[in-house]
Chain A
């Protein structure tokens, strides 16, 4: 089955700096890669996603890149703000008949200090 590894487990950045979180996956059939942000005590919220037919996607200060050959994808947050502090999870899923069964990474705790 799919295995997703996520690094780093914790990331401290100064406000205004950039943050990068990396994930690798094992199943070459995976073709959908979402990123979820979960603030303390809140629900996971989809912040950006990418499909395997695209190499990069941007949404304001957030971008995701995908390298299918190397089987890794990364989340980039620019100009970080204190409200970016949260746990971020990457995930991977494939187009089987499993209705979007996700394999999540272990999560990255991001702390943005003013």
Chain B
């Protein structure tokens, strides 16, 4: 099973709303990632968790708040977003191990629209 599951698939929110994106994997991966992807652009790394601890924050605004409650689950909490935050949000995970850790498996993404 190489499945990374993201919910919801689509999300529309106002600038004052609070919402959360969810990502789940059951592959035993101990690194999980959040990416933001604009149309026709490559994914941009936002956060990396390794062994449930935040190891990389790519200077993401505080209106995005990640959380990793356990080794299978990754959340992204959203608050007071701006219209320019509208994008596809992708989750990915990778296996621990010297060589395998590079291989990232992506979820299908959450398409977010901020009105």
Interface set of A (CB-CB < 8 Å, partner B): 32, 34, 36, 42-46, 49, 51, 87, 89, 93, 95, 98-102, 104-107, 109
Give residues 3-60 of B contacting A (CB, 8 Å).
31, 40-43, 45, 48, 50, 55-56
Contact present for B106 and A99 (CB under 8 Å):
no
**Shortest 8 CB-CB distances between A and B: which pairs?**
A104-B42, A100-B102, A32-B102, A43-B106, A99-B31, A43-B108, A44-B106, A99-B50
* Residues of chain A within 8 A of B48, CB atoms compared: 98-99, 101
Binding site for A on B (CB under 8 A): 31, 40-43, 45, 48, 50, 55-56, 90, 94, 98-99, 101-109
Are the CB atoms of A109 and B40 closer together than 8 Å? yes
- A45 — nearest CB in chain B belongs to which residue? B106
B42 in contact with A100 (CB, 8 Å): no
Cβ contacts A to B, 15 pairs, < 8 Å: A42-B108, A43-B90, A43-B109, A44-B90, A89-B43, A95-B98, A98-B48, A99-B50, A99-B94, A100-B31, A100-B94, A104-B43, A105-B42, A107-B40, A107-B41
